[in-house]
Chain A
Amino acid sequence: MVTLNENNNPSEAAAPTTSEPHVNGTHNSDLVKRDFKVIGSRPRRPDGIDKVTGRARYGADFNFPGQLVGLVLRSPHAHAEIVKIDTSKAEKLPGVKAVITSADLPDHTGGDRNMFDILENCMARKKALYDGHAVAAVAAVDAATARKALKLIDVKYKLLPHVTDVDEALKPGAPLIHDNVFTEGVEPKPTKPSNWCKRAEYGHGDVDAGFRDADVVISRSYKTEQTHQGYIEPHSVSASVSPDGMAEMWMCTQGHFVFRNQCAQLLGMEASKLRTTSSEIGGGFGGKTHLWVEPLALALSRKANRPVKITMTREEVFRCTGPTSSASMDVKIGAKKDGTITAAFAELRFHGGAFPGMWAELGAMTAFACYDLKNVKTVSKDVIVNRPKTAAYRAPSSPIAAFAVESAVDELAKAIGMDPVDFRIKNAAKEGTKSSYGPVYGPIGIGPTLAAAKNHPHMKAPLGKNQGRGMACGFWFNFGGQTCVDVNVTPDGFVNVAQGTVDVGGSRASIAMAVAEELGLPYESVRSNVADTATLGHNDMTDGSRGTFSSSMAAIFATRNAIKVLRERAAKTWEIPVGEVEWKDGAAHAKGVHHGNRPPLTLKEIAAQAGNTGGPVAGHAEITADGAGVSFATHIADVETDPETGRSLVKRYTVIQDAGKALHPSYVEGQFQGGAAQGIGWALNEEYVYGKDGRLQNAGFLDYRIPVCSDLPMIDTQILEIPNPNHPYGVRGVGETSIVPPLAALGIAVTNATGVRQTHVPMSPPRVLKSIKSKAK
Chain B
Amino acid sequence: MGVLVKTTVNGDAVEFTCDEGEVLLDVLRNRLGLTGAKEGCGTGDCGACSVILDGRLVCSCLVLGAEMNGKKVETIEGMAEGQKLHPLQQAFIDHAALQCGVCTPGFLMAADALLRKNPDPTEEEIRFGLAGNLCRCTGYDKIVRAVQAAAKEMRGA
Contact surface of A with B, Cβ cutoff 8 Å: 42, 44-45, 47-49, 51-58, 60-61, 229-234, 280-285, 311, 313-314, 504-506, 666-667, 669-670, 673-674, 676-678, 700-702, 706-710, 712, 714-715
Contact = CB atoms under 8 A, between A and B. Distances in A.
Contact of B140 (A60, A282, A702, A712): A712
Contact of A674 (B29, B95, B139): B139
A282 B100 contact: yes
Interface of B: 29, 34-43, 45-46, 48, 75-77, 79-80, 85, 89-90, 92-96, 98-105, 108, 123-124, 126-128, 130-145
Nearest to A53: B80
B105 to A, nearest CB: 5
A666 B96 contact: yes
A670 B76 contact: no
Contacts of B29: 60-61
Given A314-B43, A673-B141, A714-B141, A52 B98 contact: yes
B101 A53 contact: no
B96 A667 contact: yes
A491 to B, nearest CB: 27
Contacts of B96: 42, 45, 506, 666-667, 669-670
A328 to B, nearest CB: 27
B43 A232 contact: no
Contacts of B37: 54
A237 B136 CA distance: 21
7 contacts: A49-B85, A51-B98, A53-B36, A61-B29, A232-B103, A285-B136, A715-B139
Contacts of A230: 134, 136
Contacts of A313: 42
Given A58-B38, A232-B135, A714-B141, A282 B102 contact: yes
A280 B41 contact: no
Contact of B101 (A47, A708, A712): A47
Contacts of B128: 709-710
Contacts of A673: 138-139, 141-142
A714 B142 CA distance: 8
A611 to B, nearest CB: 34
Contact of B100 (A42, A505, A708, A712): A505
A313 B39 CA distance: 9
B93 A48 contact: yes
Contact of B40 (A232, A506, A674, A712): A232
Contacts of A709: 126-128, 130-131, 133, 135, 140, 143-144
Interface of A is mostly: loop
Given A52-B89, A709-B126, A700 B104 contact: no
A60 B38 contact: yes
Contacts of B90: 52
A61 B76 CA distance: 15
Contacts of B145: 714
Given A233-B40, A282-B100, A701-B41, A52 B135 contact: no
B85 A714 contact: no
A281 B89 contact: no
A314 B40 contact: yes
Nearest to B124: A710
B139 A233 contact: no
Contacts of B45: 314, 700-702
Contacts of B75: 54
B41 A314 contact: yes
Give me the 7 closest cross-chain CB pairs, A-B, nearest first. A54-B36, A282-B102, A677-B139, A51-B101, A673-B139, A666-B96, A701-B45
Nearest to B128: A710
A233 B127 contact: no
Given A233-B102, A666-B96, A708 B134 contact: yes
Given A54-B77, A232-B38, A232-B48, A701 B136 contact: no
B142 to A, nearest CB: 6
Contacts of B34: 54
A310 B98 CA distance: 26
A280 B39 contact: no
Contact of B99 (A42, A52, A674): A674
B40 to A, nearest CB: 5
